[in-house]
Amino acid sequence: MMNKQSIEKAYEAAKEIYAQVGIDTDKAIKRANDKPISLHCWQGDDVLGFEGTASLSGGIQTTGNYPGRARNASELRADLDKALSLIPGSNKVALHAIYRESDTPVDRAKVQPEHFTGWADWAVDRKIGLDFNQSLFSHDYNTNGLTISSPDKAVRDYWIEHSINCRKISEYLGKRCGMPSITNFWIPDGTKDIPADRYAPRARLAEAMDIVFKEKIDPKYHKDTIEGKLFGIGSESYVVGSNDFYLAYAAKNGCMLTADVGHYHPTEQVSDKISAYMCFIDEIMLHVSRGVRWDSDHVVLMDNELVSIMSEIVRGGFDDRVNIALDYFDASINRIAAWVTGARNARKAYLRACLEPVEILKKKEQEGDTTAVFVLTEEYKALPWSAVFDYYCLTSGMPVGYTWLDNVKEYEGSVLAARK
């Protein structure tokens, strides 16, 4: 691995090369650094939460049994601290309702802001923001694959109460952290085989959402976003909250839309959808994940789609309209390594997008020189963006290159190995 002098020398050379195509690398670093990326807490404990759940249900599944899973809030926050110490840039942490803290049992519908004071104190101390998620899975009130869209009014009312309370928790977290908490509404509702009536569950869902979102909350503290899906475990043939359903609801009601990279047909690309959403929706959330043949939430790679997604955000100038969150859970490898790899890849791709000479490409396109656009797009991929990222890490006090893995391995030996 290069030493400090070598990194600085490589950066100066890269800075000169980028200047020749009109890119100020210092400004690009600041732009990439200031973009918040929300780290998902559930990678650290395999989405089990603190309700005593031993297994997952409702379209959620993890595979693997790597040693060292976080078993309580203290362990989970310690693991997050370790991960955040290795990830450059502005970061947030996303919570689920199942991560509440209480000395006594709390019914999920009754969860309150007071059950998240520990998380708020932790975030304020670290000067980071928090995001939130309703938890409508792994629960007895998931009857026949339906929750808030169930034909049983008692079941619907239960999840409506839960969702309303989650918005209040989000508002509390936003006030405590001094930045908006984005609450993501995702439900596991669907059927394994083809239903006789596709309309009724969706009509019930729309009615329930109108109730949940009725109370207006200051967007300075809280924002709502809704997440669709193509299919899931147990909902292979029909998903109530499909992407079409939520897109229409978001456009009609002025709320945010979540686009999860793994929630579309394998031949669809979220990168292509961003500019389309931006024409009709003020703000969106991206769940950056990686589906492998299905929505399997693999650790994010710096693959073509991730690079394209970040490029679309930057090319369109959508920095303030597109929120980035990570969403994956892999129990087959060191969980902290999974966090760090995915988050650093997301930050790398965003910085690389900030370094792209997009104004030259747009000018050539406006002139009708499609050959130049094609050729230059390919040639720009070889510009020395990695030298800029190394320098960014160095000046941020973060590990450069793969040296962070030694830090994780040391933590595994001293902390994770003691967990049984």
Burial 107-139 (b: 16+ CB within 10 A, else e): ebbebebebbeebbebbeeeebbbbbbbbbbbb
Instruction: Return the structure tokens found at 169.
Output: 């928790």
Does 36-353 carry CATH code 3.40.30.10? no
pLDDT tens track for 345-369: 999 999 999 999 999 999 999 999 9
Amino acid at 211: I
**Do residues 68 and 419 make contact, with C-beta atoms less than 8 angstroms apart?**
yes
Sign of CA pseudo-dihedral 148, 151, 153, 155: negative
pLDDT tens track for 261-307: 999 998 899 999 999 999 999 999 999 999 898 878 899 999 999 99
Amino acid at 238: Y
What is the pairing mode between strands 91-94 and 37-40?
A: parallel
Which residues are annotated as catalytic? Answer: 186, 227, 229, 260, 263, 287, 295, 297, 327
Euclidean distance between CA atoms 392 and 101, whole angstroms: 37
Sole residue written with tokens 């802001």: 113
Each of the 420 residues of the chain gets a pLDDT tens digit; together they read 679 999 999 999 999 999 999 999 999 999 999 999 999 999 999 999 998 876 777 777 788 899 999 999 999 999 999 999 999 999 999 999 999 999 999 999 999 999 999 999 999 999 999 999 999 988 888 878 899 999 999 999 999 999 999 999 999 999 999 999 999 999 999 999 999 999 999 999 999 999 999 999 999 999 999 999 998 888 999 999 999 999 999 999 999 999 999 999 988 999 999 999 999 999 999 999 998 988 788 999 999 999 999 999 999 999 999 999 999 999 999 999 999 999 999 999 999 999 999 999 999 999 999 999 999 999 999 999 999 999 999 999 999 999 999 999 999 999 999 997
Question: Whole-prediction pTM value?
Answer: 0.95
Amino acid at 278: M
